[in-house]
């Protein structure tokens, strides 16, 4: 059975009565902002792990906007089938915040990797174009190189800039564990969901 979609307010009532909350967003998204008490198990790790759940205890899944959880409903349901009831927060974290419900933030964490790539690529295109106009037309090779890299990333799914940014000093806290050991599914208080 597919997880039922519920409002943030309904999710909050279930949480107050002992439901388990699971954030399926990527590590960089979760590190910066999350719903208090949420366990983190990225969607990319679902096929590699089983979730340890108490039978009968409802499980609520969320992402940023609700799109990933809704699109992944069959996978989410398969992880809890037969053990408990599963729910998805309609509108995800965005709707949770709009409802005025509590959110924990850590502004010291880096921006999501996708945003870092967008900022880096945009800056290189802008500066390369500006330098190409003002200094030498040869510097227009910079935006051409970035454009080619974005095309390759779109076609193959491999983004060289993202691979480099993972190793940047400001990202080591978020990606250090992920790159070396694999992602762990645990809440901010250290309680693990993995078997």
Residues tagged active-site: 63
- Calculate the alpha carbon distances from 176 to 46, 120, 157, 165, 173 in Å: 20, 21, 22, 12, 6
Residue 118 is encoded by which pair of tokens?
Answer: 């967008």
Task: Tell me the sheet residues that pair with 104.
Answer: 34
CA atoms within 13 A on the CB side of 131: 12
- Calculate the alpha carbon distances from 114 to 121, 179, 183 in Å: 11, 17, 18
Spatial distance between the Cα atoms of 71 and 79, rounded to a whole number of angstroms: 15
Would you say 57 and 40 are in contact if contact means Cβ atoms under 8 Å apart?
no
Cα dihedral sign for 170, 175, 181, 185? positive
Q: What are phi and psi of 20, to 5 degrees?
A: -100, 135
Checking DSSP bridges between strand 33-34 and strand 104-105, what pairing results, if any?
antiparallel
């Amino acid at each position: 059975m597919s997880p039922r979609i519920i409002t943030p307010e309904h999710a909050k009532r279930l949480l107050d009565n002992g439901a388990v909350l699971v954030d399926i967003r990527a590590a960089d998204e979760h590190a910066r902002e999350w719903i208090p008490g949420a366990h983190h198990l990225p969607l990319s790790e679902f096929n590699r792990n089983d979730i340890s759940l108490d039978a009968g205890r409802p499980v609520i899944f969320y992402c940023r906007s609700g799109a990933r959880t809704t699109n992944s409903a069959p996978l989410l349901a398969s992880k809890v089938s037969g053990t408990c009831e599963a729910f998805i927060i309609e509108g995800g974290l965005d709707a949770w915040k709009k409802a005025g419900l509590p959110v924990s933030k850590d502004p010291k964490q880096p921006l999501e990797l996708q945003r870092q790539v967008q900022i880096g690529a945009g800056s290189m295109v802008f500066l390369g174009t500006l330098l190409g106009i003002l200094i030498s037309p040869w510097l227009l090779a910079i935006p051409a190189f970035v454009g080619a890299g974005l095309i390759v990333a779109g076609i193959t799914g491999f983004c060289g800039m993202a691979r480099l940014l993972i190793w940047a000093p400001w990202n080591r806290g978020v990606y250090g564990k992920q790159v070396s050991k694999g992602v762990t599914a645990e809440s901010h208080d250290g309680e693990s969901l993995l078997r």
